Amino acid sequence: MKLEFEYGHGTMTANLPDNTDVFIPGETVPDPPYLEDVYTATRESILNPIGMEPLSKLAKKGSKVTIVFPDRVKGGEHPTSHRKVAIPIILEELYKAGVEKKDILLIC
Protein backbone atom coordinates (compact mmCIF):
# COMPACT_ATOMS: atom_id res chain seq x y z
CA MET A 1 0.00 0.00 0.00
CA LYS A 2 1.20 3.50 -0.75
CA LEU A 3 0.60 6.13 1.90
CA GLU A 4 1.03 9.82 1.20
CA PHE A 5 1.47 12.01 4.26
CA GLU A 6 2.36 15.60 5.09
CA TYR A 7 6.08 16.22 5.36
CA GLY A 8 7.54 19.68 5.81
CA HIS A 9 5.88 22.02 3.34
CA GLY A 10 4.82 19.18 1.06
CA THR A 11 4.09 15.48 1.17
CA MET A 12 6.01 12.22 1.17
CA THR A 13 4.98 8.77 -0.02
CA ALA A 14 5.83 5.54 1.77
CA ASN A 15 5.36 1.96 0.61
CA LEU A 16 3.84 -0.04 3.47
CA PRO A 17 2.70 -3.66 3.80
CA ASP A 18 -0.93 -4.09 2.71
CA ASN A 19 -1.94 -5.20 6.21
CA THR A 20 -0.71 -1.94 7.80
CA ASP A 21 -3.18 -0.14 10.07
CA VAL A 22 -3.11 3.60 9.44
CA PHE A 23 -4.27 5.90 12.22
CA ILE A 24 -4.89 9.55 11.37
CA PRO A 25 -5.90 11.63 14.41
CA GLY A 26 -9.09 13.53 13.72
CA GLU A 27 -9.89 11.35 10.69
CA THR A 28 -9.65 7.61 11.38
CA VAL A 29 -9.38 7.97 15.17
CA PRO A 30 -10.46 10.78 17.51
CA ASP A 31 -8.00 13.54 18.27
CA PRO A 32 -6.19 12.83 21.53
CA PRO A 33 -7.37 14.84 24.52
CA TYR A 34 -5.68 18.14 25.25
CA LEU A 35 -3.23 18.11 28.16
CA GLU A 36 -3.39 21.12 30.45
CA ASP A 37 0.16 20.58 31.74
CA VAL A 38 2.21 18.81 29.08
CA TYR A 39 5.42 19.05 31.15
CA THR A 40 3.98 17.18 34.15
CA ALA A 41 2.23 14.61 31.95
CA THR A 42 5.42 13.98 29.96
CA ARG A 43 7.55 13.65 33.09
CA GLU A 44 4.99 11.25 34.63
CA SER A 45 5.01 9.14 31.45
CA ILE A 46 8.80 9.00 31.28
CA LEU A 47 9.12 8.11 34.96
CA ASN A 48 6.37 5.46 34.73
CA PRO A 49 6.48 3.88 31.25
CA ILE A 50 3.92 1.23 30.34
CA GLY A 51 5.34 -2.27 30.01
CA MET A 52 8.96 -1.54 30.86
CA GLU A 53 11.26 -0.34 33.60
CA PRO A 54 11.96 3.40 33.86
CA LEU A 55 15.19 4.81 32.45
CA SER A 56 16.61 5.08 35.97
CA LYS A 57 16.60 1.26 36.17
CA LEU A 58 17.63 0.58 32.56
CA ALA A 59 20.60 2.95 32.34
CA LYS A 60 23.70 3.26 34.49
CA LYS A 61 27.22 4.67 34.41
CA GLY A 62 28.92 3.31 31.30
CA SER A 63 25.66 2.82 29.37
CA LYS A 64 25.73 3.97 25.75
CA VAL A 65 22.42 5.64 24.85
CA THR A 66 21.01 6.67 21.48
CA ILE A 67 17.86 8.80 21.33
CA VAL A 68 16.12 8.96 17.95
CA PHE A 69 13.47 11.61 17.40
CA PRO A 70 11.70 13.13 14.41
CA ASP A 71 12.83 16.41 12.94
CA ARG A 72 10.92 19.68 13.19
CA VAL A 73 8.41 18.74 10.49
CA LYS A 74 5.27 19.26 12.58
CA GLY A 75 5.27 21.55 15.58
CA GLY A 76 8.99 21.36 16.25
CA GLU A 77 9.23 25.08 16.98
CA HIS A 78 6.19 25.01 19.27
CA PRO A 79 7.16 25.60 22.94
CA THR A 80 5.58 22.29 23.98
CA SER A 81 6.93 20.17 21.12
CA HIS A 82 8.33 16.76 22.04
CA ARG A 83 11.89 17.88 21.41
CA LYS A 84 11.59 20.81 23.82
CA VAL A 85 9.72 18.89 26.54
CA ALA A 86 10.66 15.20 26.47
CA ILE A 87 14.34 15.31 25.50
CA PRO A 88 15.45 17.49 28.47
CA ILE A 89 13.50 15.22 30.85
CA ILE A 90 15.04 12.10 29.31
CA LEU A 91 18.53 13.59 29.54
CA GLU A 92 17.92 14.57 33.17
CA GLU A 93 16.91 10.98 33.99
CA LEU A 94 19.94 9.56 32.18
CA TYR A 95 22.31 11.90 34.02
CA LYS A 96 20.69 10.93 37.35
CA ALA A 97 21.27 7.26 36.44
CA GLY A 98 24.98 7.99 35.94
CA VAL A 99 25.11 8.11 32.14
CA GLU A 100 27.73 10.59 30.96
CA LYS A 101 27.03 13.20 28.30
CA LYS A 102 29.76 11.71 26.06
CA ASP A 103 27.83 8.40 26.02
CA ILE A 104 24.58 9.90 24.70
CA LEU A 105 23.91 10.24 20.96
CA LEU A 106 20.91 12.21 19.63
CA ILE A 107 19.75 11.36 16.11
CA CYS A 108 17.22 13.49 14.26
84 or 53, which is more confident?
A: 53
Is the separation of the CB atoms in 68 and 107 below 8 Å? yes
Can you give the pLDDT at residue 107?
Answer: 86
Can you give the pLDDT at residue 92?
Answer: 96
Can you give the pLDDT at residue 81?
Answer: 80
Q: How many Cα atoms occupy the beta-carbon half-sphere of 71 within 13 Å?
A: 3
Can you give the pLDDT at residue 7?
Answer: 80
Can you give the pLDDT at residue 74?
Answer: 59
Is the separation of the CB atoms in 67 and 28 below 8 Å? no
| Mean pLDDT, rounded, for 86-104 | 96
| Mean pLDDT, rounded, for 64-87 | 78
The model's pLDDT over 23-75, given as tens digits with 9 standing for 90+, comes to 888 888 888 788 889 999 999 999 999 999 999 899 999 999 999 887 665 55
> What is the Cα–Cα distance from 61 to 44, expressed in whole angstroms?
23
Provide the 3-class DSSP secondary structure of residue 9: coil
Can you give the pLDDT at residue 71?
Answer: 66
Angle subtended at Cα 96 by Cα 95 and Cα 102, rounded to the nearest 5 degrees: 15
